[in-house]
Amino acid sequence: MNSLASLLDQHVRSHPELELQDAIKFLYQSCMGPSHLGLELQTALEWVEAEWAEVTGDADATPTEPLGNGLCRLSLAACKGQGLEPATLAALFWETAQTVTPNRQALEDSLKLLYNLPFSRDEIHRTLEEYRAAGMPAVHHSARYRRAYAPAYRVVEQDLARLLPLLSAIDRHRRTHPQTLVALDGPCATGKTTLGGFLSRLYHCPLFHMDDFYLPPERKTAQRLAEPGGNVDAERFFVEVLSPLSQGKTVRYRPYRCHPGTLGDEVVVPPASLAVVEGVYSLRPDLHSYYHIKCFLEAPWSTRRTRLLNRNGAEALDRFEKLWIPLEDAYFRAFPIRQECDVVLSSQ
């Protein structure tokens, strides 16, 4: 509650024309999210497109305003200025509506924060009585607020909003090119697989994992593992995936299965105008030039360690620390992967 109180206070200070109903709207969006609207994706898109046409893009506009509870207001002006497609923004909004659970009790509790604002207690008390009697519905911005600030935004999860630089880069490239190949590289447990899965769902595009191309045991010689990035079968990945993918051809490959140490069944992927490759070593120098959008993911070691421990257990964590992470570190020391990426995404 202290965090929400601070955010509300900051919002009020930065919007001196704000009226009490605008403060209630802030709290409502923080606690209830957008799921109450019950929109279909197509309807969400139509709403965005209608408002999009009235907004002037501003690449320098502050993209987000935090609402608390993992949500934020994502500026349409910033999105348009950075080159995001309205369909992408609508999808982020709709995704948030599907995943955020409204919390009416939290809203009720948060309304007490209104008494800390520069309004008379009588006005606050009267307004809250009327609001509760009406069933605490969603509210609109006041006419005064709209005239002063021309609000144009969508409520989305903060974790999705932080993807704006990457999503904008993808949308800008797709607008003028027939094919877009995206690479997500970075140390283990920085969220590459999760982000890749999200991009695949968002854009309905194929996703390829570098984990499917690790070297089989018989090729893990000391000489090979001494090569920076040599832990992955980049040769097979290029021949079976990246080369045909970049030529607009059908991709056929057999993913490597670590536990049995064998190749799995063949996977067939038709030609695609957009595709994502995720995993450490995806941006090796011999593969780098084939990608159009290059993204580096990073996170503090404490965060990564916790993720690895929760994901694989203590024994696997020990193996990561002693074997796989030193190989990754050698790769990132040898090549300027982060510096050569178009987008860097950091998480805590």
Task: List, in sequence order, every residue forming a beta bridge with 66; answer none if it has no partner.
Answer: 72
Contact 34, 101 (CB under 8 A): no
The DSSP bridge pattern shows strands 274-278 and 207-209 to be: parallel
**Mean pLDDT value across residues 252-262:** 90
- 86-99 and 164-176 are packed helices; what angle lies between their axes, rounded to 10 degrees? 140
| 100-152 confidence digits (pLDDT tens) | 999 999 999 999 999 999 999 999 999 999 999 999 999 999 999 999 999 99
Percent of the chain with pLDDT over 70: 99
Contact 276, 197 (CB under 8 A): no
Nearest to 237 by CA among 214, 260, 220: 214
Domain map (residue ranges) of the chain: 2-160, 164-346
Nearest to 107 by CA among 84, 78, 139: 139
The predicted pLDDT at position 338 comes to: 98
**Element (DSSP H or E) covering residue 203:** helix 192-203
Say which residue the tokens 């620390």 belong to: 321
Residue 46 has pLDDT above 70, yes or no: yes
What are the tokens at 251? 């991709």
Nearest to 204 by CA among 293, 253, 268, 275: 275
Say which residue the tokens 């090729």 belong to: 219
Give counts: helices (H), strands (E), the chain. Answer: 18, 12
Nearest to 202 by CA among 158, 154, 244, 170: 170
The predicted pLDDT at position 37 comes to: 66
Q: Which residue has the higher pLDDT, 210 or 40?
A: 210
Q: What is the DSSP letter of 33?
A: T
Q: Let me know if 348 is exposed, middle or buried by CB neighbors in 10 A (0-12, 13-18, 19+).
A: exposed
3-state secondary structure of 255: coil
Measured CA to CA, the distance from residue 36 to residue 24 in angstroms comes to 16
The predicted pLDDT at position 1 comes to: 52
Phi, psi of 153 (to 5 degrees): -160, 170
What is the full DSSP assignment across 160-193? HHTTHHHHHHHHHHHHH-S-EEEEEE-STTSSHH
Q: Name the E strands within the chain.
A: 64-68, 71-75, 153-157, 180-185, 207-209, 251-253, 256-257, 262-263, 267-269, 274-278, 293-298, 343-346
- State which fold the 164-346 domain adopts: Rossmann fold (3.40.50)
Measured CA to CA, the distance from residue 320 to residue 102 in angstroms comes to 39
Residue 36 has pLDDT above 70, yes or no: no
Measured CA to CA, the distance from residue 333 to residue 326 in angstroms comes to 10
3-state secondary structure of 235: helix
Among 33-37, 38-42, 104-108, 211-215, which stretch is predicted with the lowest mean pLDDT?
33-37
Say which residue the tokens 């207001």 belong to: 73
Contact 39, 47 (CB under 8 A): yes
Measured CA to CA, the distance from residue 130 to residue 75 in angstroms comes to 31
Say which residue the tokens 């360690």 belong to: 305
Residue 54 has pLDDT above 90, yes or no: yes
Torsion region of 204: left, alpha or beta (phi above 0 gives left; psi -120 to 50 gives alpha): left
The predicted pLDDT at position 323 comes to: 86
